[in-house]
């Protein structure tokens, strides 16, 4: 049996949490996995219920946070080294940037035979200023030079990392898309739809456009609200928006609604007839998706947006900006309408077009369900990862035990 130490940035609700859970649970018994990661931020939903579902007890690394905090990061680094010395993994596999830095540095220091890193998106644009971005790129290039294998979630992400950011040579990269258990998104939909729309006051004749994710600058919710305002003014159909998620910009987005003359509802002060409904985090995202008619995304940068994979699995048509790995999780004009990043008018036109055309929504819905179920099943993720591990272990002559 081979031992894997798998390290994730933090245990917040999102695609990385689901994926490390599947890999931890379903690579057994051939691989024994210890799953470790940082604590979620206060504004984020917890992923604890995911690990409970699969009988996994993760190890929390105290001090490993999103922000760069030298003392905390040093403590987290020492904790990871301690885990390596105790568990003696054959492979250390890190997921996302903070875990990738601390986990790989610890693995290099301890002489772990094989190191693997998965890019769940990247931070090389739309996050920091030019000098910080350059610094992080240089750090990533150094880490990549010592890492056994790098995993990109899509061909487009690989191309960005390889040809645009020059992180590592081509032979180091392997493309393994995210995988999910998608069945729950297409079961009991009428019941879930009624439950969600009753809870938040959406009438059946209203077209509800939802956007799901953290309320942070890179997600560009301002653009979504501006485009929604334009589409609502133009549309003959009753149009409402639903913002699922939470984060540092919630109050700012409330002010943005006021500036756009959009009424809004907050969890602590509900308004059942509001133009824009803020729900905060919803653990049962399948229920939320059943209640929506269109799912939007307005991000400046994305790796592999999980919300769009789940939306298509639930049969929801997509309106999104064309950025990052978006085109690897949707089919333009077949499952989604895409527009240039930060182009408010184009996003508004696509929202209006889809909200006004039920037949188009139905067509995109059917194609989306077929596409994601063929490509993003968790069983494919597990098998592709298993094959890569065995290849790396054999190449580096690592024996079991």
Same domain for 206 and 156? no
Q: Is 269 exposed, middle or buried (0-12, 13-18, 19+ CB in 10 A)?
A: exposed
For residue 171, the enclosing domain spans 2-181+377-395
Quickly state the pLDDT bin for 121 (edges 50, 70, 90). Answer: low
Q: How many CB atoms lie within 10 A of CB 277?
A: 25
Same domain for 366 and 298? yes
Asked if residue 342 is part of any domain, the answer here is yes
Are 347 and 319 spatial neighbours (Cβ–Cβ below 8 Å)? yes
* pLDDT tens, residue by residue, 311-370: 999 999 999 999 877 888 999 999 999 999 999 999 999 999 999 999 999 999 999 999
Q: In sequence order, what are the beta bridge partners of 175?
A: 152
| Residue of 65, 254, 252 whose CA lies nearest to 241 | 254
Identify the weakest region by mean pLDDT among 42-46, 230-234, 264-268, 325-329: 42-46
Same domain for 249 and 171? no
Question: Tell me, what's the pLDDT at 271?
Answer: 93
Quickly state the pLDDT bin for 129 (edges 50, 70, 90). Answer: low
The C-alpha atoms of residue 385 and residue 391 are separated, in whole angstroms, by 10
Same domain for 333 and 246? yes
Asked if residue 238 is part of any domain, the answer here is yes
Asked if residue 401 is part of any domain, the answer here is no
* pLDDT tens, residue by residue, 187-211: 999 999 999 999 999 999 999 999 9
| Residue of 301, 266, 295, 263 whose CA lies nearest to 280 | 266
Same domain for 112 and 94? yes
Asked if residue 400 is part of any domain, the answer here is no
Same domain for 384 and 357? no
Question: Tell me, what's the pLDDT at 133?
Answer: 73
* pLDDT tens, residue by residue, 76-120: 999 999 999 999 999 999 998 899 999 999 999 999 999 999 998
* pLDDT tens, residue by residue, 144-174: 999 999 999 888 889 889 988 889 999 999 9
Are 316 and 288 spatial neighbours (Cβ–Cβ below 8 Å)? no
| Residue of 72, 53, 52 whose CA lies nearest to 64 | 72
Same domain for 242 and 96? no
Question: Tell me, what's the pLDDT at 118?
Answer: 96
Q: For the chain, what is the domain count? A: 2
Asked if residue 65 is part of any domain, the answer here is yes
Same domain for 390 and 370? no
Same domain for 352 and 281? yes
Does residue 238 have a pLDDT over 60?
yes
Q: Domain holding 290: CATH number? A: 3.40.50.2000
Same domain for 147 and 119? yes
Same domain for 221 and 156? no
Asked if residue 236 is part of any domain, the answer here is yes
Please give the model's pTM, rounded to 2 decimal places: 0.75
Same domain for 169 and 226? no
Q: How far is CA 255 from CA 110, 225, 262, in A?
A: 50, 11, 10
The C-alpha atoms of residue 72 and residue 79 are separated, in whole angstroms, by 11
Asked if residue 97 is part of any domain, the answer here is yes
Q: Is 218 exposed, middle or buried (0-12, 13-18, 19+ CB in 10 A)?
A: middle
Question: Tell me, what's the pLDDT at 126?
Answer: 46
């Amino acid at each position: 049996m081979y031992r894997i130490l798998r390290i994730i940035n933090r245990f917040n609700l999102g695609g990385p949490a689901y994926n490390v859970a599947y890999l931890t649970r379903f690579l057994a018994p051939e691989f024994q996995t210890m799953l470790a990661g940082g604590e979620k931020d206060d504004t984020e939903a917890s992923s604890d219920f995911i690990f409970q579902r699969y009988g996994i007890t993760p190890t929390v690394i105290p001090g490993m946070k999103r922000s760069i905090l030298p003392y905390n990061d040093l403590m987290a680094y020492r904790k990871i080294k301690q885990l390596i010395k105790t568990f003696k993994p054959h492979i250390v596999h890190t997921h996302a940037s903070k875990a990738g830095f601390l986990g790989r540095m610890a693995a290099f220091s301890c002489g772990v035979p094989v190191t693997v890193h998965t890019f769940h998106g990247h931070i090389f644009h739309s996050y920091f200023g030019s000098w910080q971005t350059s610094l992080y790129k240089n750090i990533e290039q150094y880490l990549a030079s010592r890492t056994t294998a790098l995993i990109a979630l899509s061909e487009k992400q690989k191309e960005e990392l390889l040809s645009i950011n020059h992180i590592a040579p081509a032979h180091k990269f392997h493309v393994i898309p995210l995988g999910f258990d998608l069945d729950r998104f297409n079961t009991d939909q009428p019941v879930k739809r009624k439950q969600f729309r009753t809870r938040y006051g959406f009438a059946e004749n209203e077209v509800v456009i939802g956007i799901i994710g953290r309320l942070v600058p890179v997600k560009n919710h301002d653009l979504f609200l501006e485009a929604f305002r334009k589409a609502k003014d133009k549309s003959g159909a009753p149009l409402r928006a639903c913002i699922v998620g939470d984060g540092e910009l919630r109050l700012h987005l409330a002010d943005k609604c006021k500036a756009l003359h959009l009424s809004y509802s907050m969890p602590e002060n509900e308004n059942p007839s509001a133009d824009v409904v803020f729900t905060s985090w919803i653990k049962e995202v399948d229920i939320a998706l059943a209640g929506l008619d269109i799912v939007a995304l307005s991000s400046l940068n994305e790796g592999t947006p999980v919300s769009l994979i789940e939306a298509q699995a639930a049969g929801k048509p997509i309106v999104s900006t064309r950025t990052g790995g978006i085109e690897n999780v949707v089919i333009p004009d077949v499952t989604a309408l895409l527009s240039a990043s930060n182009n408010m008018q184009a996003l508004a036109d696509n929202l209006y077009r889809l909200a006004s055309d039920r037949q188009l929504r139905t067509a995109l819905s059917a194609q989306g369900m077929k596409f994601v179920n063929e490509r993003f099943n968790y069983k494919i993720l597990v098998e592709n990862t298993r094959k890569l591990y065995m290849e790396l272990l054999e190449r580096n002559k690592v024996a079991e035990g």
